[in-house]
Chains A and B, each alone.
Chain A
Amino acid sequence: MDAGFVVFAGLTVISASAAMSLRNLVHCALCLTVTFAGLAALYLKLNAQFVGLAQILVYIGAVAILIVFAILLTRSDEQTLRATILSPAWWVGVLVGVAVFCALAAAICSSALAKRPAVPPTPVTVENIGDKLMTTYILPLEVIGLLLTAAMIGAVIIAMQERRSR
């Protein structure tokens, strides 16, 4: 448990809770971006450089921008939002979240898996990852390519449907 972990974990948790509780949607999107950046830093700390940089590219570069676009293209009514916070349904939702965290934390703290001694990090190069992707994981790689193509075509068709039918 070092200082870097505490700083990045605190940043991630605080910005995640801000993203889920702020009223202004643009502020929520900005806080979400900070959460993704904190997670990318944690991946880098865990010696998974490729995943950390992929997180920055995909989440900060694409998903956050998509969410900002969706916020700008839609209009939310602040009046109803103000009424839902601190309502009974809101308390029930928060209670469910706290209960889930307590259950997970109890399971983690009582598990023998986490009591293993720390091992030195193994060096991982992009060459290793590419090698694995092209040999062992070639079928999942092809499937994910197909899935992304289908998702891209599907997203365009779903978003354009209304205009085409008129």
Chain B
Amino acid sequence: MNPLHGYLLLAALLFSIGLAGAVTRRNAILVLVGIELMLNAANLNFIAFWRYGPSPEALSGIMFVIFSIGVAAAEAAVGLALIIAIYRHYRTVNVDQVNSMKG
């Protein structure tokens, strides 16, 4: 078995765990955690393809992951601020109970 195979399968497994968690958990914070896991799985794919790809000296995988980490940090900050605003309004973070747009 090729090392690239191992990394790709690990990333697929992490993505599936994040997806299952984001779909099943009802707490908005844990939905966000699931999304973070999926983003990290994608980052692992980028790094694995860069390391075992045809032209590693171009550094394209590393650059993509650096920008991806920056976007993920912005997403986490805004997402958690939204969750706190929703909690102030509804007094709950259960995504099943946050079901009206008017409030």
Contact = CB atoms under 8 A, between A and B. Distances in A.
Interface string A123-161: 010001100110001001000100110111011101101
A3 interface: no
Chain A CB count within 10 A is highest, among B50, B70, B78, for B70
Interface residues of A, number: 85
A162 B88 contact: yes
A119 B96 CA distance: 49
A147 B17 contact: no
Contacts, number: 233
B63 A67 contact: no
Interface of A: 1, 5, 9, 12-13, 16-17, 19-21, 25, 28-29, 32, 35-36, 39, 42-43, 46-48, 50-51, 54-55, 58-59, 62-63, 66-67, 69-71, 73-77, 80-81, 84, 89-90, 92-94, 96-98, 100-101, 104-105, 108-109, 113-116, 118-119, 121-122, 124, 128-129, 132-133, 137, 140, 144, 147-148, 150-152, 154-156, 158-159, 161-162
A19 B21 contact: yes
Interface string B1-31: 1111111111011111111110111110110
